[in-house]
Structure 1
Amino acid sequence: MPDGESIAGYRLTGRSRAGETGTWTDAVTPDGGRGGVLWIDPGVLVDPGARDRVVAEVTADRRLTRGGVAGLVPITDLVAARGQVWLLTARPGTPSLAELMRAPAPDAGSAATILVETAQTLLAVHSAGLVHGALHAGTVVIAEDGTALLAERGLVPALRGAHASVERDLAAWASLARGLAAAWAAGDQQAARLFDRAAATATTHGLGAARDALVNGRDLLPSGFATRERLVQTIQWWSASAVPTGQPPHLPPSPQGVDTGEVVTLLYVPAGAGERPAHPAAETGQAPPAATTPAGGEMRFGPGVPVDTTAAQIWRAGREQPTVAAAERLAAPRKRRRRRGGFVGSAVLFALILLAAVFLWFQRGAPLSVTAVQVRQPKAAGCDTTVNVVGVLTTNGSAGQVSYEWLLSKQKPIKHTDAVPSGRSSHEVTLEWDVSGRGTRKLTARLRVLSPVGASGAPIEDAATFTYKC
């Protein structure tokens, strides 16, 4: 591939792999970060309705990600350039789980981590009335920190007009669990049986029950697996090794005088219009219907590009799109008014609650750690009164002892030690401060955690000020 070839500001680096719907290539984003580009095979775009279905699925993914679902590969844009279609992502599309399964096996705990995270993300997707449609080891991307991300969600049913159902996702997850058991738990019979039990549970009782089976069986997994150390080591081995990769697709030559940086963005939303809602039709096993076509406007492909470019011929049949510069596409999305009555908001809230539960599960084996402190603002006080000061300690959910002190204006420190139970990510502490006298004063209550603290040994603290007037 020619050095420096790029799409919409994404510079392709040459490390590629075959995906389910095309070819993934690592890229450098316009701001210098690491991203990914999926070139969608033109052979799967022959159906006239495929374009609209892909736009609908990508739009739904972006809405879920903005709503807090962190288990999907984050999508930046979907663009057409010189007769080809590209999906741009904010994270690389490599390595896939399939690639890592050919590397030296980490441990059974790494497999459990991936299975719990993929189950959690699928639960959020299904709660939003969507499905994946092509889940397997090749559509699970493992980030450099060991996080499992689902890629190409919804694209296969959208491109092929195929049926998509929750039941198919459940069967695919069960197959993934059995594959990981064979690859990463071959020498650990207890863990292998745990994965097989979770796989059977997924198809009979659902992903929530399968996830719980893994959670309840965590004692059968290697100690310390929640740190992901072994998994990260495998990723580093893969990154540093000469793993064979595919060849990234070449851009066709651009017409003379055309700026190759100008592309058609397919996710443009006219002013005043919201993104299309997720389609609940996926729950019934039916492919989502084609997206509606807003009226008006002339399709433009940037300065100097003739109307009859290849991209125009491909996309003119559907919704008309203006060209949007790469910098504008990559800018932070505008805030939109909240829609009342939508099911996606409640689905995202449900997913966040489940994600918090899984996070706390992974932290149960770690020692107690306090990560943040907040002192709530007390109300202004009148003559000779008692002020209730409330502080909140954010923890990693483990059990242990926490030592802290209150530092009040011109008074000696007041030290305390509390027992913090497991399974909760916050611990509330209170102080009754008797204040008296005449005059007007600004008083400060400072809460300082003495232990446990981070590796630096520096205390964690916060303060709040109120006015006493008598």
Structure 2
Amino acid sequence: MNTDRGGLAGFRLTHRTWTDELGTWSSAVAADGRPAGALSFDPRLIADPATRERLAGAVIADRGLAQAGVTGLVPIADLIAAQGEVWLLTAEPVNPTVADLLSETPGVPRPDAGSAAGVLVEIAQTLLAVHAAGLAHGALHPGTVVIAADGSARLVERGLADAIHGRPPAPERDVAAWSSLSRGLAASWAASSPGAAGLFERAAATASTHGLAPARDVLITGRDLLPPGFDTRDRLLETLHLWAAHDVRARDGRQASAPPPAPALPAPDEGDIVTLLHVPRSGESRTEDVVMRFGPGVPVETTAAQLWRAGRDQQQTEPPSDRLRVLGAPARRRRRRAAVSSAILALMVVAALVAWLLRSSAVPLAVTGLDVVAPKKTQGCGATVKIKGLLTTNGSAGEIRYQWKRSDRKDTIEQTDTVASGKTSHEVILQWSVKGEGSFKGTATLRLLSPLPEGKKLQDKATFNFKC
């Protein structure tokens, strides 16, 4: 649907709207003229005040992740209430999404396997940072993966569905969704490249059994199966350009054939708009329906929940004249309060990361998986073949002792590597030089010597072909 609905807290809602399970999205232009987005939540989903509280907490956590350096999320400008509606305002556009690019668009080529690999790697990297902070996305699918103008993949609606439905963060649900997306892109963007499609299937299976970090590494180590331009996103940028041009033509065509639009409703007055992310002023407190609880057994709220609860209580209990004064406060004061809450959340995220790293270092190193990859292409004269082994760990520090066995030799090659804490995968390389003429099939076997899972043996092998 195309419309022009006027302004909202400095954002001008423009031509393009679409719906999803949370409400109605609109493309928008921010006060500084940059493209942005605005989501009007379905009123039925947020009627309960507790739901709005959880929603505000999720948005504050999202902004805290950005403050802590997580760049793979579409940045949020504000969460506001206006004329009985609740709006999420983003500082960047939220289209096109992967779902948009998956649809058949005349004159717009599909992205290739290299584009799919780049998107999957960036999503995995963002989810790993989100999970390390004790959070999750909760609704990962092609419609919540936005492709930015530079071709990078960004996630939108992080934590919103979980907040609305009252679900705790579930990283395993994100991992399953990432695996599903990997298989979906294998069947579409990589359909013409069987080798790349197999790589995505392998990454999906690795995510399901060993987690996102090893799955991401499977894609990175298998880059020789991807088309040229994997690093530069050439094909994806070409698709974005053609998609945008088609979208403009389609929009202009719809506007030319449509009847004159009805006059736009006047924009909400600033006095009718309030941010839901503010910190209460000093001295403000709730004066009725007070429940005091002390002693053991009283649950401790998170900082985000305390900030939102205080703000909500302030809005509910102020006299009408005071409330109008608060709702009409200058935008500068609201931004300052939002910045304070974001800074507090950023400190919480950093503390969670440090705690996770310290916990990891206190647990003995364990290796839970082992995978060996050899080049698929036949190697030629004078080649030095690079065999890669990927060991999946629990993220603790320690030493890994392993053994390579070449099919052309009786002797084995033993090595010991030191692994730092915080990394859940470790790569080892075997360089195999082949000389002379003729045909040759080589097999490299990697065997873990220590630390071994109790009662188990970990080893894998890979084969390559040589012809000179």
The answer for the alignment partner of 1:79 in structure 2 is 80
Task: Tell me how far 1:134 sits from its aligned partner.
Answer: 0.6
Q: What residue identity is the alignment partner of 1:69?
A: V
The answer for the alignment partner of 2:269 in structure 1 is 259
Task: Tell me how far 1:261 sits from its aligned partner.
Answer: 6.8
User: Which shows bigger deviation, 45-54 or 238-247?
Assistant: 238-247
What does the per-residue CA deviation read over 1:292-332, in whole Å, with 9 as the maximum and x for residues that have no partner? Answer: 322798539xxxx97799xx9xxxxxxx9755544555579
What does the per-residue CA deviation read over 1:384-442, in whole Å, with 9 as the maximum and x for residues that have no partner? Answer: xxxxxxxxxxxxxxxxxxxxxxxxxxxxxxxxxxxxxxxxxxxxxxxxxxxxxxxxxxx
Find the residue that maps to 1:121 and give its secondary structure: helix
Structure 2 unaligned blocks of 5 or more: 256-261, 284-301, 359-468
**Residue of 162, 171, 182 corresponding to 1:177:** 182
**Residue of 236, 249, 270 corresponding to 2:280:** 270
CA distance in 2, matches of 1:5, 1:237: 28
Q: 1:46 to 1:261 in 2, by over 3 A?
A: closer
Task: Tell me how far 1:259 sits from its aligned partner.
Answer: 2.3
Q: What residue identity is the alignment partner of 1:343?
A: A
In the alignment, is the contact (CA less than 8 A) between 1:80 and 1:265 conserved in 2? Answer: yes
Matched, 1:155 2:160: yes
**Residue of 211, 214, 225 corresponding to 1:209:** 214
Q: 1:16 to 1:66 in 2, by over 3 A?
A: same
Q: What residue identity is the alignment partner of 1:299?
A: Q
Task: Tell me how far 1:217 sits from its aligned partner.
Answer: 0.3
Matched, 1:6 2:7: yes
CA distance in 1, matches of 2:38, 2:348: 35
Find the residue that maps to 1:225 and give its secondary structure: coil
CA distance in 2, matches of 1:37, 1:71: 19
CA distance in 1, matches of 2:218, 2:263: 47
Task: Tell me how far 1:347 sits from its aligned partner.
Answer: 8.1
In the alignment, is the contact (CA less than 8 A) between 1:53 and 1:289 conserved in 2? Answer: no
The answer for the alignment partner of 2:351 in structure 1 is 343
Q: What residue identity is the alignment partner of 2:161?
A: V
Q: What residue identity is the alignment partner of 1:215?
A: I
What does the per-residue CA deviation read over 1:242-269, in whole Å, with 9 as the maximum and x for residues that have no partner? Answer: 487899xx999679xx725741100002
The answer for the alignment partner of 1:125 in structure 2 is 130
In the alignment, is the contact (CA less than 8 A) between 1:24 and 1:94 conserved in 2? Answer: no
The answer for the alignment partner of 1:387 in structure 2 is none
In the alignment, is the contact (CA less than 8 A) between 2:133 and 2:349 conserved in 1? Answer: no
CA distance in 2, matches of 1:295, 1:4: 29
CA distance in 1, matches of 2:67, 2:245: 33
What does the per-residue CA deviation read over 1:73-126, in whole Å, with 9 as the maximum and x for residues that have no partner? Answer: 100100010011110111011111100111421210000000000000000000
What does the per-residue CA deviation read over 1:173-210, in whole Å, with 9 as the maximum and x for residues that have no partner? Answer: 00010111111000100000000000011111000010
User: Which shows bigger deviation, 53-62 or 99-108?
Assistant: 99-108
Q: What residue identity is the alignment partner of 1:294?
A: A
Find the residue that maps to 1:53 and give its secondary structure: helix
Matched, 1:333 2:339: yes
The correspondence of residues 210-249 of structure 1 with structure 2, limited to 5 A, is 210-242=215-247
The answer for the alignment partner of 2:388 in structure 1 is none
CA distance in 2, matches of 1:237, 1:131: 33
Task: Tell me how far 1:240 sits from its aligned partner.
Answer: 1.1
The answer for the alignment partner of 1:34 in structure 2 is 35
The answer for the alignment partner of 1:111 in structure 2 is 116
CA distance in 1, matches of 2:102, 2:348: 44
**Residue of 187, 193, 198 corresponding to 1:188:** 193
Find the residue that maps to 2:120 and give its secondary structure: helix
In the alignment, is the contact (CA less than 8 A) between 1:34 and 1:91 conserved in 2? Answer: yes
TM-score by length of structure 2 reads 0.61
In the alignment, is the contact (CA less than 8 A) between 1:170 and 1:206 conserved in 2? Answer: yes
Q: What residue identity is the alignment partner of 1:107?
A: D
Count of residues in Structure 1 that have an aligned counterpart in Structure 2: 321
CA distance in 1, matches of 2:85, 2:263: 8
Q: 1:201 to 1:40 in 2, by over 3 A?
A: same
The answer for the alignment partner of 2:315 in structure 1 is 299
Q: 1:209 to 1:321 in 2, by over 3 A?
A: farther
Find the residue that maps to 1:190 and give its secondary structure: helix
What does the per-residue CA deviation read over 1:20-70, in whole Å, with 9 as the maximum and x for residues that have no partner? Answer: 412221111011111111111112113331101101110000011011100
TM-score by length of structure 1 reads 0.60
In the alignment, is the contact (CA less than 8 A) between 1:268 and 1:322 conserved in 2? Answer: no
In the alignment, is the contact (CA less than 8 A) between 1:82 and 1:251 conserved in 2? Answer: no
In the alignment, is the contact (CA less than 8 A) between 2:36 and 2:93 conserved in 1? Answer: yes
What does the per-residue CA deviation read over 1:210-259, in whole Å, with 9 as the maximum and x for residues that have no partner? Answer: 00000110111012221111101111111111487899xx999679xx72
Q: 1:149 to 1:349 in 2, by over 3 A?
A: farther
In the alignment, is the contact (CA less than 8 A) between 1:116 and 1:214 conserved in 2? Answer: yes
Task: Tell me how far 1:19 sits from its aligned partner.
Answer: 3.1
**Residue of 197, 200, 203 corresponding to 2:202:** 197
Q: 1:119 to 1:48 in 2, by over 3 A?
A: same
CA distance in 2, matches of 1:152, 1:340: 21
- State the percentage of identical aligned residues: 50
Find the residue that maps to 1:144 and give its secondary structure: coil
Q: What residue identity is the alignment partner of 1:97?
A: V
The answer for the alignment partner of 2:286 in structure 1 is none
Q: What residue identity is the alignment partner of 2:310?
A: P
The answer for the alignment partner of 2:102 in structure 1 is 101
CA distance in 2, matches of 1:153, 1:341: 15
Q: What residue identity is the alignment partner of 2:166?
A: G
Q: What residue identity is the alignment partner of 2:315?
A: M
Task: Tell me how far 1:161 sits from its aligned partner.
Answer: 1.7
User: Which shows bigger deviation, 339-348 or 158-167?
Assistant: 339-348
Q: 1:296 to 1:222 in 2, by over 3 A?
A: closer
CA distance in 2, matches of 1:326, 1:223: 48
Find the residue that maps to 1:153 and give its secondary structure: coil
CA distance in 2, matches of 1:213, 1:192: 13
CA distance in 2, matches of 1:184, 1:33: 30
CA distance in 2, matches of 1:322, 1:344: 34
CA distance in 2, matches of 1:148, 1:294: 35
In the alignment, is the contact (CA less than 8 A) between 1:20 and 1:138 conserved in 2? Answer: no
Q: What residue identity is the alignment partner of 1:333?
A: A
Which of the pair is proportionally richer in helix?
2
